[in-house]
Amino acid sequence: MTPAPMRIPFTLLRYLPILLTTGLLLLLPTACSSVEYPPDKEPRMVVAQEQVPFYVHGPAQGNGADRLLAKGDEVHVLSKDFGFSLVQAIDGQKGYVANDSLVPAPPEPSPTPTPTHQDATKQDGDSPRSQEPLLPDPAPLVSPEFRY
């Protein structure tokens, strides 16, 4: 005697496509997450390896890298995807670079203040300190006489 084949209830078969579609749609946003930066908040990065491939049309293009970036070249990250970032090189060319070959750029040095017109026309004796009124010397301290 052979066992009867297992049958799935009709109600489960009816909802199975909906359940599978919902599950796939929930997983879709986490599968390929990317970060896009606004134009004024693009992070500055520096190439950390000696020669890094730079792909204009994407990392999967068939003809290889379009050029190589040298260590220390600065780029602006336009968007960051899984494995590769869309960057803009200093010369303005946009392309894709591997994420692990980029490190944050050092902070830009603060600008040195430029002398104003007033500072340029001041003489050595015209400093604000020399224009302050002189205060009279305080009265000499009188120490009380010490008696034995």
Q: Please state, rounded to an integer, the average pLDDT across all residues of the chain.
A: 77
115 vs 41, higher pLDDT: 41
- Alpha-carbon span 59 to 98, nearest angstrom: 8
**pLDDT higher than threshold 90 for residue 138:** no
* Residues 120-142, mean pLDDT to the nearest whole number: 60
- The average pLDDT across 70-74 equals 93
Band of the pLDDT at 2, cuts 50, 70, 90? confident
Give, rounded to a whole angstrom, the gap between the first and last alpha carbons of the chain: 130
Query: Hey, what domains does the chain have and what are their CATH numbers?
Result: 35-104 (2.30.30.40)
pLDDT of residue 119: 53
| One-letter amino acid of 22 | T
Q: 3-state SS of 57-89?
A: CCCCCCCCCCEEEECCCEEEEEEECCCEEEEEE
The first and second tokens of residue 140, run together, are 């000499």
